[in-house]
A = this chain, B = another copy of it.
Amino acid sequence: MHRFFIPKEWILADTVTFTSEPLHQIGYVLRLKPTDRIIVLDNSGWEFEVEITRIGKESAEGKVIKRSPGQGEPSVKIILYQALLKSDKFEMVLQKGVELGVNAFVPCVSERCVTRKESASKMGRWRRIIQEAAEQSERVILPVLHPVTSFEEACRSVTKPALLMWEEEKSLSLKQTLQNPPFKNTAKISLFIGPEGGFPSAEKEFAVRNGIVVASLGHRILRAETAGLAAISAILYEKGEMG
């Protein structure tokens, strides 16, 4: 069944009213008809199975058939502090990050970032990528996209425990880190991933001074867009969230 995140206010008792983009999807793109069923998500963690009852030009309506708690959220919340990457790579990280189970994204500007600017249109495009990936992967909470911030500000304001993956780190492995406190029993992990050229030593040192733990992803040199996905997969696997 097709899945749609909608504003909470669109659900009143057992009636759902659709306008704007979801109406366009239901009526024109997917050409659904009355009696067709969809899943509606109000970002509360619940899933609503809805039967379409009417499709009009200005709005459509549906009736809630069933309400059940969603299964798509991992028990550990991962906040991904991703240094800006070239457009297609960054968008891939957003899409795959949502599929895997990231809870929130904080785009950061690090010294070696090639791309450094955000724009309203880019933020809008990133939000749509996140929403589509969340619907497709059966998430029930829409991951949050925070505004672009500087690496320094991100280090200062990050929620702990926080991890930074660094390709030059040789002693502390991701596994050792995750299997010991404070990462072992935490319900929230902040994860820093660098840009194409990696984090320079000075940024790594700045992170350490701000209480961020630096760990290694192993012997192979991963591209920036691969490192985040590998680290997220490893964290979710460790926490029993990968099957």
Complex Cα distance A218/B137, Å? 11
A136 located at the interface, meaning its Cβ lies under 8 Å from any Cβ of chain B in the complex:
yes
Stretch at the interface among A16-24, A76-84, A94-102, A201-209: A94-102
Decide: A173 near B233, CB < 8 A? Known: A99-B223, A219-B71, A223-B136: no
A187 located at the interface, meaning its Cβ lies under 8 Å from any Cβ of chain B in the complex:
no
Beta-carbon contacts under 8 Å, A217-243 to B: 217-223, 226, 229-230, 233-234, 236-238, 240-243
The answer to whether B226 touches A100 (Cβ under 8 A) is yes
Chain B contacts for A169, CB-based, 8 A: 243
A61 located at the interface, meaning its Cβ lies under 8 Å from any Cβ of chain B in the complex:
no
Chain B contacts for A222, CB-based, 8 A: 99-100, 137
Complex Cα distance A137/B227, Å? 11
Closest Cβ neighbor of A236 among chain B residues = B218
Complex Cα distance A40/B223, Å? 21
The answer to whether A230 touches B218 (Cβ under 8 A) is no
Q: Can you name 9 extra interface pairs (CB under 8 A) apart from A99-B220, A216-B243?
A: A74-B219, A99-B221, A137-B222, A139-B220, A173-B243, A218-B236, A218-B243, A229-B229, A233-B233
Beta-carbon contacts under 8 Å, A181-225 to B: 215-223
Closest Cβ neighbor of A96 among chain B residues = B226
Decide: A220 near B173, CB < 8 A? Known: A234-B233, A237-B233: no
Most chain B CB inside 10 Å of its own CB: which residue of A139, A215, A236:
A236
Complex Cα distance A219/B173, Å? 27
Decide: A218 near B234, CB < 8 A? Known: A223-B99, A226-B96: no
Chain B contacts for A217, CB-based, 8 A: 242-243
The answer to whether A219 touches B138 (Cβ under 8 A) is yes
A72 located at the interface, meaning its Cβ lies under 8 Å from any Cβ of chain B in the complex:
yes
A146 located at the interface, meaning its Cβ lies under 8 Å from any Cβ of chain B in the complex:
no
Return A222 CB to nearest CB of chain B, in Å.
5
* A164-189 to B contact mask, C-beta < 8 Å, 1/0: 01000100111100000000000000
Complex Cα distance A229/B225, Å? 12
Complex Cα distance A240/B237, Å? 13
Most chain B CB inside 10 Å of its own CB: which residue of A173, A215, A233, A234:
A233
Complex Cα distance A165/B165, Å? 28
